């Protein structure tokens, strides 16, 4: 069994590659929920939806998020009525959020709703939220103002400096049903190429998960989301620098060294392999840019092979 810790577009693409080389019933995704947000009365789970949409082939491939063949009538109506609708929700996408919100209000857990959404789109793998309890990533700007992650990421286009990140509510969050077992019982645990601060950080902060990973460290492998000192998508590189860390594969190795024994780094960073090893993590050099489904499958194959033998 392969368990993948996931958050965001990079993780979804990696998972799509994993499913090309591993039977779907042997793959479990544990997905970040700390960027969930309530908008216009709807519970929105961006990372869960990106994973489900991508794996089901419904994702808008040009944007990398949301559903294909989308229309924006509801959002346009909100704006015409004077609502500051700064977060883009397409009409089809709103259907997902209405479904989730309705079932949550009826008393179902987020993990139960997520399982129904995955099944409705024909997925054979398990998609588990890291926790059923609410966790909220809060970002402190360099000015000292604290805002929600989606305000930073979407409203401000992550174009402002930050000085801190915290995960509100994580101290009382418990792993969702099946999450701890998915980690403990996995043949290999993969940390997908996701933002290590705000996508993987909240997952590791859930009660007991970092300890469970540390106990099986040598069978865990991460894929660096930093290539040549930069993030391929999103603000991971800037966030690392602004938080006083190194925006490189070495910085990623230092972030993960307590929970993984191996780090897959891109060929352009091959010269940093000794420094990764000095940071306490075994480097494996491989092409990591998922420019096609074939490249994603090859990366997944190499990543699992790095610790499965």
One pLDDT digit (tens) per residue for the chain, 309 residues: 999 999 989 999 999 999 999 999 999 999 999 999 999 999 999 999 999 999 999 999 888 889 999 999 999 999 999 999 999 999 999 999 999 999 999 999 999 999 999 999 999 999 999 999 999 999 999 999 999 999 999 999 999 999 999 999 999 999 999 999 999 999 999 999 999 999 999 999 999 999 999 999 999 999 999 999 999 888 999 999 999 999 999 999 999 999 999 999 999 999 999 999 999 999 999 999 999 999 999 999 999 999 976
- Please give the pLDDT value at position 309: 64
- Please give the pLDDT value at position 65: 86
- Please give the pLDDT value at position 62: 84
Residue-by-residue DSSP string for the chain:
-EEEEE-HHHHHHHHHHHHHHS-GGGEEEEE--TT-EEETTEEE-HHHHHHHHHHTT-B-TTTSSSBSS---HHHHHHHHTT----S---HHHHHHHHHHHHHHHTT--HHHHHHHHHHHTT--SEEEESBSS--EEEEEETTS-EEEHHIIIIITTT-S-EEEEEEETGGG--BPTTHHHHHHT-SEEEE-SS-TTTTSHHHHHSTTHHHHHHTTGGGEEEE-SEETTEESSSSHHHHHHHTT--SSHHHHHHHHTTT-SEEEE-GGGGGGHHHHHHTT-EEEE------SHHHHHHHHHHHHHHHH-
Q: Which residues contact 80 (CB under 8 A, 6 or more apart)?
A: none
- Please give the pLDDT value at position 232: 87
């Amino acid at each position: 069994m392969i368990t993948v810790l996931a958050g965001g577009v990079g993780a979804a693409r990696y998972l799509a590659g994993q499913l090309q080389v591993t039977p779907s019933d042997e793959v479990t995704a544990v997905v970040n929920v700390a960027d969930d947000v309530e908008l216009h009365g709807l519970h929105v789970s961006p990372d869960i939806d990106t994973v489900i949409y991508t794996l089901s082939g419904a994702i808008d491939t040009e944007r990398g998020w949301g559903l294909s063949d989308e229309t924006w009538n509801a959002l346009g109506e909100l704006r015409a009525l004077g609502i500051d609708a700064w977060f883009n929700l397409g009409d089809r996408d709103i259907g997902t959020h209405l479904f989730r919100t309705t079932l949550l209000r009826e008393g179902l857990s987020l993990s139960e709703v997520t399982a129904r959404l995955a099944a409705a789109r024909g997925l054979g793998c398990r998609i588990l939220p890291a926790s059923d309890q609410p966790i909220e990533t809060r970002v402190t700007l360099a000015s000292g103002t604290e805002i929600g992650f989606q305000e930073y990421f979407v409203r401000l286009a992550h174009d402002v400096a930050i000085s801190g990140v915290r995960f509100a509510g994580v101290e009382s969050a418990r792993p969702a049903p099946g999450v701890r077992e998915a980690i403990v019982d996995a043949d290999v645990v993969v940390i997908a190429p996701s933002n290590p601060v705000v996508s993987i950080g909240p997952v590791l902060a859930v009660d007991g998960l970092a300890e469970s990973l540390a106990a099986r460290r040598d069978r865990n492998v991460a894929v660096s989301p930093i290539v040549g000192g930069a993030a391929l998508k999103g603000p991971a590189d800037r966030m690392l620098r602004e938080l006083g860390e190194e925006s490189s594969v070495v910085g990623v190795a230092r972030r993960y060294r307590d929970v993984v024994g191996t780090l897959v780094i891109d060929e352009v960073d091959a010269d940093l392999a000794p420094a990764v090893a000095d940071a306490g993590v075994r480097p494996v050099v491989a092409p990591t840019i998922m420019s096609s489904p074939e490249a994603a499958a090859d990366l997944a194959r190499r990543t699992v092979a790095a610790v499965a033998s």
